[in-house]
Amino acid sequence: MMNTKLTFTAKVLIFIFIMVYTIIPLLGLFDIWFNSFYSTNDYIQYLIPVFENEKAIRSLFSCIWGAALGGAVLAIISFHNHIAVTKAFDSSHAWGFLLSPLLTISIGVITFLLLNGGFIFLTGNTTPSSESQPYGYTLIGFIMGYNWDVTIKYIEKLSKKIATEKKIQNNN
């Protein structure tokens, strides 16, 4: 099956999608950072009946929004590269842009779990304040979302290591 060149209208629609996908995480992060998580907090309380640990939820959403923003920045760079530099934007690229939000939001959740599960260690300030915590989760989420391909390889490597250790334990 041959890839087809997209029309100008399709390219504009994908561009608008990328811009919306960039603005939504920014609004979410601004809500967490500057609005004390009130807007998102009200919405989440309806989704999670027992809202016990606001700090954990705030960190989770910081990681998700950071990963989504990382994916959005990568999408902007890729879109520019395909449109302006290589001039080779075709239909096969569209699916990558459309699936990017789902991929990076999922990576944000997985990154949060890896951080809190002790599978990823960060060094730096040994006494993080509650005010600086969302920024760290946002940054690591951004890095993991921007480098989603490296993140997936890390998860595959970790999965193989866990499976190998489980086999060794079962044989003993």
With a threshold of 0.85, does the pTM exceed it?
A: no
For the chain, percent of residues with pLDDT exceeding 70: 79
pLDDT of residue 34: 82
Higher model confidence: residue 120 or residue 16?
Answer: 16
For residue range 145-160, what is the model confidence (pLDDT) as tens digits? 999 999 999 899 988 8
Task: Tell me the pLDDT tens digit for each residue of 38-77.
Answer: 666 666 666 555 456 667 788 888 999 999 999 999 999 9
pLDDT of residue 99: 93
- pLDDT-derived band at 126, boundaries 50, 70, 90: low
Res 64: pLDDT: 94
pLDDT digits (tens, 9 = 90+) for 78-91: 999 988 898 888 88
3-state secondary structure the chain: CCCCECCHHHHHHHHHHHHHHHHHHHHHHHHHHHCCCHHHHHHHHHHCCCCCCHHHHHHHHHHHHHHHHHHHHHHHHHHHHHHHHCCCCEHHHHHHHHHHHHHHHHHHHHHHHHHHCCCCCCCCCCCCCCCCHHHHHHHHHHHHHHCHHHHHHHHHHHHHHHHHHHHHHHHC
Least confident of 24-33, 83-92, 110-119, 162-171: 162-171
